[in-house]
């Protein structure tokens, strides 16, 4: 009787896996057919039915399957699918500012044949060119262009995240329910990785390194090859991202000290000597690398952030996060809730699930020793990572980097809560109920992973209606055509551009042209402006349109593609 | 001890991804992204074919040249008209963000038929004739564009803010709409501001 039940269940899972891949292919084809080179309403526009089918089958596989390896693989593919959508849908690099600067640096590296010594990131990434070089090599080895290599990296790299969680859980001999919950949690708590920033690009390596550290602090390296693998990953991070390296230095050294001190009062087990050696080797590597390359700019910035927070908190100054959201507080309650959910819905879910983890951890007290040891050793570094998230949130008003550092712990902590609520023996839920819960949680997170712009409140101005907060980040063909046109027909006039066009200029042009950029619009001979990209707030959009109209009264409009304009500043005294 | 069979799945996936990576140039030959966006460009450049050296302080009976260009990225052939219009300070100004054309009548036009991804560019010569200055007012009676004398009869008062007699020559792009069998304004306008100077004062 049991055997036939198992057979039926296994056939059901096989069918679900086939359906998942069929829907995945359909989704990719649909994304391919919906290719855009301009700002649309939101990333999932025209893709919702296909996306729902893929998500539903993924949720069903998570609920019905008891094969953890399969769930890990399917979770990897699901994360790849999430990253494929914006990467394939939009012709150019998706995301304003950082991704464009990184792309420009990679382009110049490919053109030069070695790490670029010019451009916006030559200084910051001079000592940490690892991932720029990796993407450049990918482009050169495969013979594809820089854009293709850039996008390929973005799509493929998150695949590893659920696999890492699976391998860790397997090592801990965790119960299947917990493995399943952690794998699912790795999907809903994964940070936005389809926008290339220094921190997101290094995130898979960072997650692997954190996992190795937690395992080493709990049980020590299992073999020399494990030690070497972890160290090589550490080297990869050190040569790829300075902030992450410094953060890991703090996390690794302070966690080790904490455990050693806690051991003295009998709370923790002794750290294996090899683990101490590992931590010290990594610390030495970070310090040596950045001492020899004299690149401590980001460490200084990080310290200044901490300094600002302490000064502001102690002397009653307003925190950056508060001033940043003043416009937000002037809106009605419903609008505020909408903005909050669309912007930070996934963060709120992550925090709620993680906040309940200590309770679930208490319930784990009778679990196996390995599992308990691992989770107890995670408490201190996870708290430190949470503090970094809070620091970024309240001081800079942009919590992304802190959130990414914290997110590496989230699959294990949020997974524990999900396990306790849905997969433990305490509560037996029907698989269908679990499927619905998993599906709902993913959909709730996706609302802010792919911000649903049409749900954002709008503000009316004399120039028209605008979103109170615009989260779209499409680099349009209109903007690129403008930049390419001007770079082909100007080699001497100073240029002022709006914020987004500035980074696009850094991505698309050479260093000679970039040297013409100025930050003062009154002194610039050429003004490049656009309404084709999303502008963060209604207030900014209104002033941008008004500026274009006023400028067109006085200045020559030299170029127009309907949405992007090049204007000659005739009031500039340099003109005959 | 590292046992290869424990990592079978990882090796298989890495291999698969590797194959896809190395096959990527071939894939890009087979897979073509849909074009994305259909649009047109309109531009003017100075006589040396760069942005910036366009004429500003002009005089009567002197010939100036600029380049006028149109780019077609409509994913099909397109038929355009570039309407040339001339305005003084009191005429409605060309709004680059407006979806409707300026209400002034064109003084001249260029008809352009372009294939997809084609660019049309030509050097345009123009001069101002029958220009007079009287009581802080300047009057231009006609403009000669590419050898065609065009009657405009525009006068402007001295602009205290900008210190000059300011006119504007601007170009609007119109695109032929086959279903409607008519040309429609394509929301693109470029233009040059001029300060008409008295020959005697220069």
Q: Report percent pLDDT > 90 for chain B.
A: 41
> Which residues on A lie below 8 Å from B62 (Cβ)?
none
Which H/E stretch holds residue A105? helix A98-112
Compute the distance between CA of residue A555 and CA of residue A493 in angstroms, rounded to an integer: 15
> Which residues on B lie below 8 Å from A33 (Cβ)?
34
By Cβ distance, the residue of B25, B96, B189 closest to A144 is B25
- Is the separation of the CB atoms in A47 and A487 below 8 Å? no
Rounded to 5°, angle at Cα A381 from A373 and A349: 95
Q: Give residue A412's pLDDT.
A: 93
Q: What letter would DSSP give residue A396?
A: I
The answer to whether the Cβ–Cβ distance between A568 and B17 falls below 8 Å is no
Q: Give residue A83's pLDDT.
A: 93
Phi, psi at A526, each rounded to 5°: -115, 135
Q: Give the pair of three-digit tokens for residue A321.
A: 């996060």
Mutate to test the interface with B, among A35, A556, A564 (most CBs of B within 10 A): A556
Q: Give residue A14's pLDDT.
A: 86
Model ipTM value: 0.87
Distances (CA, A) of A457 to A293, A340, B80: 48, 11, 39
Compute the average pLDDT of residues B110-131. 92
Q: Give residue A397's pLDDT.
A: 62
Compute the distance between CA of residue A397 and CA of residue A253 in angstroms, rounded to an integer: 28
Distances (CA, A) of A450 to A45, A405, A558: 10, 20, 36
Compute the distance between CA of residue A394 and CA of residue A203 in angstroms, rounded to an integer: 22
- Is the separation of the CB atoms in B190 and B42 below 8 Å? yes
By Cβ distance, the residue of A477, A478, A490 closest to B50 is A490
| pLDDT confidence band for B4 (50 / 70 / 90) | low
Q: Give residue B34's pLDDT.
A: 61
Q: Give residue B166's pLDDT.
A: 87
Q: Which spans in A271-363 are helix H?
A: 273-292, 297-314, 320-324, 326-329, 333-355, 357-363
Mutate to test the interface with A, among B9, B19, B27, B37 (most CBs of A within 10 A): B37
Compute the distance between CA of residue A437 and CA of residue A59 in angstroms, rounded to an integer: 8
Q: Give the pair of three-digit tokens for residue A11.
A: 């056939």
Contacts 24+ apart (CB under 8 A), A17-23: A17/A61, A17/A70, A17/A74, A19/A57, A20/A54, A20/A57, A20/A58, A20/A61, A20/A74, A20/A77, A21/A77, A23/A50, A23/A53, A23/A54, A23/A57
Contacts of residue B71, Cβ cutoff 8 Å, sequence gap at least 6:
A481, B40, B41, B42, B43, B118, B119, B120
The answer to whether the Cβ–Cβ distance between B2 and A553 falls below 8 Å is no
**Residue bearing tokens 């539903």:** A56
The nearest CA of chain B is from the CA of A43 a distance in Å of 15
Residues β-bridged to residue B72: B40
Q: Give residue B40's pLDDT.
A: 95
Q: Domain locations in chain A?
A: 2-454, 477-568
The answer to whether the Cβ–Cβ distance between A561 and B42 falls below 8 Å is yes
How confident is the prediction along chain A (576 residues), in pLDDT tens digits per residue?
566 677 777 788 888 998 998 999 899 989 988 888 989 999 999 899 999 999 999 999 998 888 899 999 999 999 999 999 999 999 999 999 889 999 998 888 888 887 777 666 776 777 788 888 999 998 888 888 889 889 988 998 999 999 999 999 999 888 888 999 999 999 999 888 899 988 999 999 999 999 999 998 888 888 888 899 999 999 999 988 888 888 899 999 998 888 888 777 766 677 788 888 888 899 998 888 887 876 666 667 666 766 666 666 555 555 444 444 445 667 778 888 888 888 888 889 999 999 988 888 887 666 677 888 888 888 889 999 998 888 777 766 667 788 899 999 999 999 999 988 877 666 677 778 888 888 898 998 988 899 999 998 887 777 778 888 888 999 999 999 999 999 999 888 899 998 888 999 999 998 889 989 998 888 888 989 888 888 777 667 777 788 887 777 778 899 999 889 999 887 654 333
Q: Whole-prediction pTM value?
A: 0.87
Pick the residue from chain B with its C-alpha nearest to A525. Answer: B52
> Which residues on B lie below 8 Å from A77 (Cβ)?
none
The answer to whether the Cβ–Cβ distance between A73 and B57 falls below 8 Å is no
The answer to whether the Cβ–Cβ distance between A570 and B193 falls below 8 Å is yes
- Is the separation of the CB atoms in A235 and A248 below 8 Å? no
Query: Three-class SS of residue A179?
Result: helix
Mutate to test the interface with A, among B34, B57, B83, B97 (most CBs of A within 10 A): B97
Q: Which residue has the higher pLDDT, B163 or A149?
A: A149
User: In terms of Cα–Cα distance, which of A412, A419, A418, A417 is closest to A211?
Assistant: A412
Asked if pLDDT for residue B82 goes beyond 60, the answer is yes
By Cβ distance, the residue of B2, B45, B186 closest to A223 is B2
């Amino acid at each position: 009787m049991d055997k036939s039940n198992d057979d039926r269940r296994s056939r059901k899972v096989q069918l679900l896996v086939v359906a998942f891949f069929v829907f995945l292919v359909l989704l990719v084809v649909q994304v391919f057919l919906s290719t855009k080179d301009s700002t649309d309403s939101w990333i999932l526009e025209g893709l919702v039915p296909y996306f729902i089918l893929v998500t539903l089958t993924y949720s069903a596989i998570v609920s019905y399957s008891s094969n953890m390896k399969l769930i890990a693989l399917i979770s990897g593919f699901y994360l790849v699918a999430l990253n494929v959508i914006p990467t394939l849908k939009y012709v150019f690099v998706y995301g304003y500012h950082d991704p464009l600067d990184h792309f420009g640096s990679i382009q110049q590296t490919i053109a030069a044949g070695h790490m670029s010594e010019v451009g916006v990131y030559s200084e910051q990434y001079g000592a940490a060119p690892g991932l720029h070089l990796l993407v450049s090599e990918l482009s050169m080895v495969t013979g594809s262009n820089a854009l293709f290599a850039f996008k390929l990296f973005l799509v493929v790299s998150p695949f590893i995240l659920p696999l890492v969680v699976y391998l860790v859980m397997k090592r801990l001999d965790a119960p299947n329910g917990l493995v399943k919950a952690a794998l699912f949690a790795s999907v809903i708590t994964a940070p936005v990785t389809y926008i290339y920033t220094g921190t997101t690009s290094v995130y898979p390596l960072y997650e692997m390194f954190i996992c190795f550290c937690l395992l080493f602090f709990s049980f020590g390296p299992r073999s020399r090859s494990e030690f070497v693998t972890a160290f090589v990953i550490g080297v990869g991070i050190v040569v790829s991202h300075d902030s992450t390296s410094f953060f890991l230095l703090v996390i690794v050294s302070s966690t080790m000290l904490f455990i050693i001190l806690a051991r003295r009062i009998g709370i923790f087990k002794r750290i294996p000597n090899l683990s101490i050696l590992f931590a010290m080797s990594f610390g030495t590597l970070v310090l040596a690398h950045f001492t020899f390359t004299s690149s401590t700019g980001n460490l200084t910035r990080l310290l200044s952030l901490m300094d600002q927070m302490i000064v502001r908190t102690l002397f009653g100054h307003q925190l950056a996060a508060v001033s940043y959201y003043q416009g937000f507080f002037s809106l009605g309650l419903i609008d505020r809730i909408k903005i909050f959910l669309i912007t930070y819905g996934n963060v709120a879910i992550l925090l709620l699930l993680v906040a309940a983890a200590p309770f679930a951890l208490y319930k784990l007290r009778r679990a196996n020793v390995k599992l308990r040891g691992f989770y107890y050793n995670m408490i201190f570094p996870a708290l430190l990572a949470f503090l970094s998230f809070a620091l970024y949130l309240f001081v800079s008003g942009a919590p992304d980097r802190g959130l990414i550092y914290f997110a590496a712990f989230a699959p294990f902590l949020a997974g524990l809560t999900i396990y306790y609520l849905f997969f433990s023996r305490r509560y037996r839920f029907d698989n269908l109920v679990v499927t619905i819960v998993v599906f709902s949680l993913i959909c709730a997170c996706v609302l802010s992973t792919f911000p649903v712009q049409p749900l954002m409140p709008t503000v009316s101005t004399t120039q028209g209606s605008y979103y109170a907060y615009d989260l779209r980040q499409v680099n349009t063909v209109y903007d690129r055509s403008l930049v390419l046109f001007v770079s082909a027909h100007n080699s001497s006039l100073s240029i002022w551009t709006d914020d987004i066009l500035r980074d696009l200029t850094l991505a698309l042009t050479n260093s000679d042209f970039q040297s013409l950029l100025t930050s003062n619009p009154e002194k610039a001979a050429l003004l490049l402006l656009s309404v084709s990209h999303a502008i963060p707030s209604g207030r900014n959009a209104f002033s941008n349109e008004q500026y274009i109209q006023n400028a067109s009264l006085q200045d020559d409009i030299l170029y127009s593609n309907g949405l992007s304009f090049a204007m000659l500043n005739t009031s500039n005294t340099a003109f005959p | 001890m590292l046992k290869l069979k424990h990592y079978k799945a990882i090796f298989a996936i890495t291999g698969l991804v590797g194959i896809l990576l190395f096959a990527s140039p071939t894939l890009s030959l087979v897979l073509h992204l849909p074009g994305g966006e259909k649009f047109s460009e309109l531009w003017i450049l100075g006589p040396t074919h760069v942005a910036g050296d366009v004429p500003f302080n002009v005089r009567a009976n002197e010939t100036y040249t600029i380049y006028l260009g149109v780019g077609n990225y409509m994913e099909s052939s397109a038929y355009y008209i570039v309407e040339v219009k001339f305005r003084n300070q009191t005429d409605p100004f060309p709004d680059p963000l407006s979806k409707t054309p300026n209400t002034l009548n064109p003084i001249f036009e260029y008809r352009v038929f372009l294939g997809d991804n084609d660019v049309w560019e030509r050097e345009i010569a123009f001069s101002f004739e029958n220009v007079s200055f009287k009581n802080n007012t300047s009057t231009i009676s006609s403009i000669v564009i590419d050898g065609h004398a065009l009657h405009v009869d525009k006068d402007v008062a001295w602009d205290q803010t900008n210190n000059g007699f300011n006119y504007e020559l601007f170009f609007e792009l119109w695109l032929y709409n086959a279903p409607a069998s008519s040309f429609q304004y394509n929301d693109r306008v470029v233009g040059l501001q001029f300060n008409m100077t008295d020959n005697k004062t220069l």
